[in-house]
């Protein structure tokens, strides 16, 4: 196979024909099976090269055949594949039909229990074709078949970057890289499913295509949209970072990005406007269009920063000012980046967008794009206008690591089972969202931050759980649900953070007997206005009110990190004579079982405001961690509770 262009394969199995079925089985039992290849009729594909090897496995109702699994077949001419130890039809035993599974590239001892494990080559000069994992499957093949077409399909993702000058001539001499990549994975030979494994922390270099000057390409693992993912083009010592965190890298897709540099005398300067267009081209020829324009300004950095959405709904620009970035008393760093995504129906002529007094040209022919500019002096927001008609902003982001108190989108669903809806799962609480936090997001996923779950119209918010923890309970002052926005808001507690601290993975579940649909999950960083260290509950932070214990009580989830010697501290106000607090297990109804065991013993509260501490000894700690409901109900009278926190025995 050519080492920078990756291609498909059609294979035919040649067998000996006999006049009778029994004679056929007997005759072919010891006949070595060979494969031949042909080229798929697509302009971007070519044939295998001499020396390329595939692994072929035979599969029956009983599973993979031990002596016919991952058998190496090699080609000398790019067409005919043979093996020094070929599988034979005798391996099929008494089966009337078999399945054949193929994988490229062949790797010795890479298959165990029907799983092909692989790691992408990332070193200098690594062969792209060796990273192009392909899979083929043909089911229900009759043993008497004379010919079987076995088609290989690409299972990873090919990313291509084409770099042009202002005359649309491809530019050699650039270097291209992409960050936040996983480099290992598995391929299930039974169904062709690819699973990426390992941490998404690798940076992969693009290789120059020796056949197309100015084109650069690499192979990456499939993945969901990934916060902080950037393709960086370096030309004449100038970096052009292209954020691609909004793109899903789907198995079998080829993503083609083209960037137009506008250098003067062959040199790209940092202040030069850069036009970029991008298409996502699935190898079945499906396309999605987007684009970039790099604005003038000093050097800026996108990699490793968090993106915040500043636009609530599409905005048509006019001569009147549209302001974005109400940060209050907070502000950006000068090297942070604003990203404005636009579209326009009429792109016959150049157009101009003015941002805080500076003009930026939208070149003719581009009906959509994204303008990226350094914050520089605009650290408290930007004013945007245009004298040209028909320009609509569809997104305004800011990339920063400053805490500006705005929501971060952690996840969006597509409405499919397990990715927004329940589906046919038989579990009482099946998964409806799986979220993997980036390192930057994990640093913000702390007690006191806000989690927002947006549901489709008509959904009941009471059916959501984060891991084992209930997210909403109106009678127990847990979570806030807004009917207008269909948004469920929860302040992050220590128990919620304990659920995800080990690997940064969030699992959200929904009841399978409801028609629930989760559309989006956002995170709002913790406010600097109040200390929420080791928070267990604060309804006011969610947008509700402090809890008047005469009218309600409080559901508190137990953190798995609870230790003997810790203190549960309740901060309160407006305590009157006779005020007290106590706690029972979260699944206890005190109206029907008033004599239920008190997990935290009744404690009198001083008049006025202050705090009361419940000491957690070894016995209490064991009892709380052993509660099946994983929660406490705090109840009392004659006071108002503001927040509940855990004070560590270390004094934290």
Which CATH number do you get for residue 81?
A: 2.60.40.2620
Averaged pLDDT for residues 441-469? 87
**Range from 285-294, 426-435, 581-590 that averages highest in pLDDT:** 581-590
Q: What is the 3-state secondary structure (H, E, C) of 530-575?
A: CCCCCEEECHHHHCCCCEECCCCCEEEECCCCCCCCCEEEEEEEEE
Predicted confidence at residue 527, as pLDDT, reads: 84
List the structure tokens of 72. 């190496």
pLDDT greater than 90 at residue 584: yes
262 pLDDT above the threshold of 70: no
Task: Report percent pLDDT > 90 for the chain.
Answer: 39
Last residue of a domain, one of 346, 375, 400: 400
CB 434 within 8 A of CB 496: no
Residue 535 counted as domain residue: no
Residue-level pLDDT at 567: 96
What's the predicted TM-score (pTM) here? 0.59
DSSP-based three-state secondary structure for 626: coil
Cβ atoms 441, 227 nearer than 8 A: yes
Residues 6+ apart with CB under 8 A from 26: none
Q: What is the pLDDT of residues 515-558, one digit of tens each?
A: 789 999 999 999 878 899 999 999 999 999 999 999 989 999 99
Parent domain of 346: 306-400
Please give the pLDDT value at position 62.
85
Give the pLDDT band of residue 204 (cuts 50, 70, 90): very high
Token duo for residue 568:
């549960």
Query: pLDDT, tens digit, for every residue of 356-376?
Result: 988 887 767 778 877 878 888
Give dist(CA 385, CA 379) in Å, integer: 18
Q: What is the mean pLDDT of residues 130-136?
A: 88
Query: Which position has the higher pLDDT, 76 or 204?
Result: 204
Q: Which position has the token pair 């980046």?
A: 337
Contact 370, 341 (CB under 8 A): yes
Cα–Cα distance, 179 to 202 (Å, whole number) = 6
Distance CA 204, CA 201 (A): 10
- Do 217 and 149 fall within a single domain? no
* d(C-alpha 315, C-alpha 293), whole Å: 19
Among 119, 154, 189, residue at a domain's last position: 154
Q: What is the mean pLDDT of residues 620-629?
A: 95
> Which H or E run contains 440?
helix 439-444
User: For the domain that residue 168 is a member of, what is the CATH number?
Assistant: 2.60.40.2630
Highest mean pLDDT among 10-14, 299-303, 512-516: 512-516
**pLDDT above 70 as % of the chain:** 83
Question: How far apart (Å, rounded) are the C-alpha atoms in residues 539 and 480?
Answer: 8
pLDDT at 47: 61
Under 8 Å between Cβ of 31 and 82: no
- Secondary structure of 282-296 in HEC code, one letter for each residue: ECCCCEEEEEEEECC
Is there a domain that residue 90 lies in? yes
Instruction: Please indicate, yes or no, whether residues 122 and 45 belong to a single structural domain of this protein.
Output: yes
Are 244 and 279 in the same domain?
A: yes
In a domain, 538, yes or no: no
pLDDT over threshold 80, residue 161: yes
Query: What pLDDT, on a 0 to 100 scale, did the predictor assign at position 519?
Result: 92
CA distances from 54 to 26, 48, 140, 528 (A): 27, 10, 21, 58
pLDDT, residue 126, reads 72
* Average confidence (pLDDT) over 584-591: 91
* 412 shares its domain with 389: no
Domain-embedded: residue 181:
yes
Asked whether residue 165 falls in the same domain as residue 275, the answer is yes
Q: In terms of pLDDT, which residue wins out, 11 or 41?
A: 11
Q: How big is the chain, counted in residues?
A: 652
Task: Determine whether 86 is exposed, middle or buried from the number of CB atoms within 10 Å of its CB (0-12, 13-18, 19+).
Answer: middle
* Beta carbons of 111 and 70 less than 8 angstroms apart: yes
pLDDT at 216 over 60: yes
- Mean pLDDT value across residues 67-79: 82
Q: Do 119 and 147 belong together in one domain?
A: yes
Tally of domains within the chain: 5
Do residues 366 and 385 both lie within one domain? yes
Q: Which residue has the higher pLDDT, 242 or 451?
A: 451
Q: Please give the pLDDT value at position 54.
A: 86
| Residues 423 and 374 reside in one and the same domain | no
Domain assignment present for residue 432? The answer is yes
Question: Which of 260, 294, 328 is the last residue before a domain boundary?
Answer: 294
CB atoms within 10 A of CB 142: 12
| Euclidean distance between CA atoms 202 and 195, whole angstroms | 17
In a domain? residue 537? no
Place of tokens 């929860």: 490
Q: Across the chain, what does the average pLDDT equal?
A: 82
- Does 134 share its domain with 74? yes
HEC string for 418-487: CEEECCCCCCCCCEEEEEECCHHHHHHCCCCCEEEEEECCCCCHHHEEECCEECCEHHHCECEEECCCCE
Q: How far apart are CA 34 and CA 494, in angstroms?
A: 61
In the chain, what are the helix, strand and coil shares in percent, each to the nearest 5? 10, 45, 50
Q: Is residue 178 part of a domain?
A: yes
Predicted local distance difference test score (pLDDT) of residue 293: 53
Is there a domain that residue 4 lies in? no
pLDDT of residue 330: 85
Instruction: Tell me whether strands 487-491 and 480-482 are parallel, antiparallel or unpaired.
Output: antiparallel
One domain, residues 209 and 149: no
Answer whether the bond into residue 105 is a cis peptide, omega within 30°: yes
Q: What is the mean pLDDT of residues 63-81?
A: 82
Q: Based on the fold, state whether residues 23 and 140 are members of the same structural domain.
A: yes
The pLDDT of 210-218, averaged and rounded, is 88
Tell me the C-alpha distance between 254 and 407, whole Å.
Answer: 32
Pairing of strands 600-604, 505-510: unpaired
Tell whether the torsion through CA atoms of 375, 376, 379 and 382 is positive or negative: negative
Tokens at residue 211, please? 């056949």
Residues 393, 423 share a domain: no
Q: Give the residue, 385 or 250, on which the prediction is more confident.
A: 385
């Amino acid at each position: 196979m050519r080492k920078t262009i990756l291609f498909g394969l059609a294979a035919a199995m040649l067998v000996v024909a006999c006049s009778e079925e029994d004679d056929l089985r007997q005759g072919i039992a010891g006949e070595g099976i060979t494969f031949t290849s042909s080229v798929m009729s697509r302009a971007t594909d070519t044939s295998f090269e001499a020396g390329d090897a595939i692994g072929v496995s035979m599969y029956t109702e009983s599973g993979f055949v031990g002596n016919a699994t991952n058998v190496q077949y090699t080609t000398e001419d790019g067409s005919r594949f043979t093996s020094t130890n070929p599988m034979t039809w005798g391996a099929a035993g008494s089966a009337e039909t078999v399945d054949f599974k193929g994988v490229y590239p062949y790797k010795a001892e890479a298959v165990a229990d029907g799983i092909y494990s692989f790691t992408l080559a990332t070193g200098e000069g690594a062969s792209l074709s060796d990273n192009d994992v392909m899979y083929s499957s043909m089911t229900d093949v009759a043993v008497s078949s004379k010919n079987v077409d076995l088609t290989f399909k690409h299972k990873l993702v090919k990313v291509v970057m084409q770099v042009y000058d202002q005359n649309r001539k491809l530019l050699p001499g650039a270097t291209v890289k992409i960050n936040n990549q996983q480099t290992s994975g598995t391929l299930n030979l039974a169904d062709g499913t690819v699973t990426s494994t390992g941490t998404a922390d690798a940076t992969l270099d693009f290789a120059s295509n020796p056949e197309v000057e100015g084109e650069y390409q690499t192979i990456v693992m499939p993945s969901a949209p990934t916060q902080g993912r950037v393709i960086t083009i370096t030309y004449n010592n100038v970096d052009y970072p292209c954020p691609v965190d909004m793109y899903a890298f789907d198995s079998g897709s080829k993503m083609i990005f083209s960037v137009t540099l506008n250098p003067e005398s062959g040199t790209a300067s940092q202040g030069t406007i850069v036009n970029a267009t991008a298409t996502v081209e699935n190898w079945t020829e499906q396309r999605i269009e987007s684009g970039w324009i790099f604005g003038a300004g000093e050097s800026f950095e996108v990699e490793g920063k968090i993106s915040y959405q500043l636009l609530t709904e599409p905005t048509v620009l006019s001569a009147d000012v549209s302001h974005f970035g109400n940060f209050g008393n907070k502000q950006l760093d000068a090297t942070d980046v604003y990203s404005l995504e636009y579209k326009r129906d009429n792109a016959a002529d150049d157009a101009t967008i003015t941002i805080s007094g500076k003009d930026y040209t939208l070149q003719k022919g581009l009906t959509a794009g994204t303008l990226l500019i350094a914050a520089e002096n605009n650290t408290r927001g930007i004013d945007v206008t245009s004298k040209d008609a028909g320009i609509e902003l569809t997104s305004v982001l800011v990339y920063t690591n400053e805490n500006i108190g705005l929501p971060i989108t952690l996840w969006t669903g597509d409405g499919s089972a397990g990715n927004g809806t329940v589906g046919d799962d038989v579990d009482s609480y099946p998964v409806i969202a799986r979220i993997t936090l980036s390192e930057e997001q994990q640093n913000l996923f702390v007690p006191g931050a806000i989690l927002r779950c947006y549901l489709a119209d008509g959904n009941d918010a009471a059916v959501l759980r984060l891991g084992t923890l209930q997210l909403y309970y109106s009678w127990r002052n847990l979570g806030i649900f807004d009917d207008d926005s269909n948004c469920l808001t929860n302040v992050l507690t220590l128990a919620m953070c304990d659920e995800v601290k080990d690997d940064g993975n969030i699992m959200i579940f929904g009841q399978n007997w409801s028609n629930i649909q989760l559309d989006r999950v956002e995170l709002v960083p913790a406010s600097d206005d109040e200390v929420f260290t080791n928070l267990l509950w604060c309804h006011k932070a969610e947008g509700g009110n402090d809890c008047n214990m005469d009218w309600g009580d409080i559901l508190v989830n137990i953190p798995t990190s609870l230790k003997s010697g810790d203190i549960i501290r309740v901060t309160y106000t407006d305590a009157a004579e006779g005020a007290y607090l106590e706690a029972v297990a979260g699944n206890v109804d005190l109206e029907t079982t008033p004599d239920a065991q008190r997990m935290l013993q009744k404690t009198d509260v001083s008049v006025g405001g202050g705090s009361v501490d419940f000491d957690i000894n070894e016995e209490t700690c064991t009892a709380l961690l052993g509660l099946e409901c994983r929660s406490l109900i705090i109840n009392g009278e004659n006071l108002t509770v503001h927040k509940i926190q855990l004070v560590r025995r270390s004094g934290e």
